[in-house]
Amino acid sequence: MNKMKWIGWPIFILFVIFLTSSFIFELPLEKTTSHTKKPKLATALTVGNEILQDFPNVTIHFEREKAVDREIYLEQPIFQKEATNDQITSWIKEKQSKHYHEISLESKKISNNFYQFLLTAKRGSDEDVLPFIVDMEKEDIKPLEDFFTLSDSFMDYLLSFLEKNLNIDQQTLKQRIIPLEKRMWIIKDNTFLLYLKDGKNEENFEIPDFVEIPLEDLLPYATKDFIKKNELLSQTLKKEEKKQLEKKRKKEKKKILKKEEGKQKKIAFTFDDGPHPKVTLNILKTLRNYDAKATFFMLGSEAKKYPEIVKQIAAEGHELANHSQNHPDFTKMDSKSIEEQILETQKIIEQISGLETSLIRPPYGSVNDQVLSVANNSGISIILWSVDSLDWKSRNANAVYHTVMNNVKEGSIILMHDLYPSTAEALPRLLNVLKDQGYAFVTVSELLEEINAEGIGPHRGI
């Protein structure tokens, strides 16, 4: 094996040198020969090759032929890959057969791997172009879908761009210059150039040769690969991602703020034994002033007397609740009578307000197993309280204020009565100070939700 290698290497190297040299010298020679073979009255022929910047495997071939009556000029990129050359050559041949005497080439590196080429064929004032992009690693002419996802949304974007910039309606656009993906295009100086004319649809139809769309506007449709390889798009993406991140952060911040806002200390004021033709109206006015909501545990008998006040309580967003028909002690009654007290009041409130109440506060807060069982069967929650304002005892606004302030905390259910003028008098001061301390005044139902109190109760608040 050693011996074989020893002999094999020099031969191999010689072979490589032979191949390389034949390639280097063959290519331009062949071109020159084929050109001189043409039966033309050539007076002068200039032929040359330049190496494409950064890609020594690709040459730019040019030839200038001065004939008696005209000058023929050709510039063409020559790749190692024959299939790629064939594609380009066939376009050039077609143009030359139609007497385009000048074919010039512009080339530009658009990213590490991609080069853009633009062949322009001229015939007098006529011009035709062949733009194409080449993946320099594989020497393939790249189709549009390598750069952009040819999704409906991309097409829609292009259509609306054309509609806006050409002032042509989509219907006409669709009929005349669709399918867009079959149009010629090129990426030039961070601009996506879409060529619109194809020689078939120009009749009576004023359209420009091409439209220019800023590349960064096409970021949402660019393929990952293209973004990675294109500096502008990668930068735009980074900026975009940064913006998104910033947006997300702001959103999160807002969420946290909102959460903190939502964490306002909620308490529920409750008023029993009404409605009262004066005191209840006074209380309603104060609640309105402080944007406070409360719960009114009303007696069926009083509700029946003052239906307009019941309606007003409901209309102003407060909660209507049951406090029995005429204030008996439920623990001293049989089930049937308790049920009657509850249902009769439910019926009255519903008839007046159209609202079904779901809360009951048994008079005196008197509850036993029997009361619980009746409430359970009626599907109504028993609500007691955690702060007794003792307004029924003191009948003094100052005393009411201090009793409440000394006991209130987040989650409190506060017992008051819309019967005593002193209670109505204490309320504005209470709401004013408690509001400053960050309390929000909600209905019992809302508070129960907040403190996750479930079932029939009795619920007392916190």
- Residues lying near Zn ion in the complex (CB under 5 A) are found at 272-273, 363
Q: How far is the CB of 419 from Zn ion (least distance, A)?
A: 9
- For 126, the token pair is 């006529």
146 is catalytic: no
Q: Which of 272, 273, 391, 418 is catalytic?
A: 272
- The distance of closest approach from Cβ of residue 323 to Zn ion in the complex, given in angstroms and rounded to an integer, is 6
CB of 434 to Zn ion, least distance (A): 23
**54 has catalytic annotation:** no
DSSP for 40-98 reads S-EEEEEEEEEEETTEEEEEEEEEEEEESS-EEEEEEEE-S-HHHHHHHHHHHHHHHHT
Residue 327: CB minimum distance to Zn ion, A: 6
Question: Looking at 327-397, which runs of residues are DSSP E strands?
Answer: 359-360, 381-382, 387-388
Considering the candidates 318, 323, 417, 459, report the single residue annotated as catalytic: 417
Q: Is the dihedral of CA 406, 407, 411, 412 positive or negative?
A: negative
Question: Quick one: which H or E segment has residue 455?
Answer: none
The Cα 401–Cα 408 span in angstroms is 11
Using CA atoms, how far apart are residues 101 and 120, in angstroms rounded to an integer? Answer: 11
450 burial class (0-12, 13-18, 19+ CB within 10 angstroms)?
Answer: buried
Helix, strand or coil for residue 23?
Answer: helix
DSSP sequence for 128-144: EEEEEEEETTTTEEPPG
Token readout for 399 is 């005393």
Which is closer to Zn ion, CB of 40 or CB of 327?
327
Q: Nearest approach, Cβ of 330 to Zn ion (angstroms)?
A: 12
CB of 363 to Zn ion, least distance (A): 5
CB-nearest residue to Zn ion: 272
State how far the Cα of 296 lies from the Cα of 309, in Å rounded to an integer: 11
- Closer by beta carbon to Zn ion, 274 or else 411: 274
Q: Are 100 and 122 in contact (CB under 8 A)?
A: yes
If the CB atoms of residues 23 and 364 are measured against Zn ion, the closer one turns out to be: 364
Positions marked active-site: 272, 417
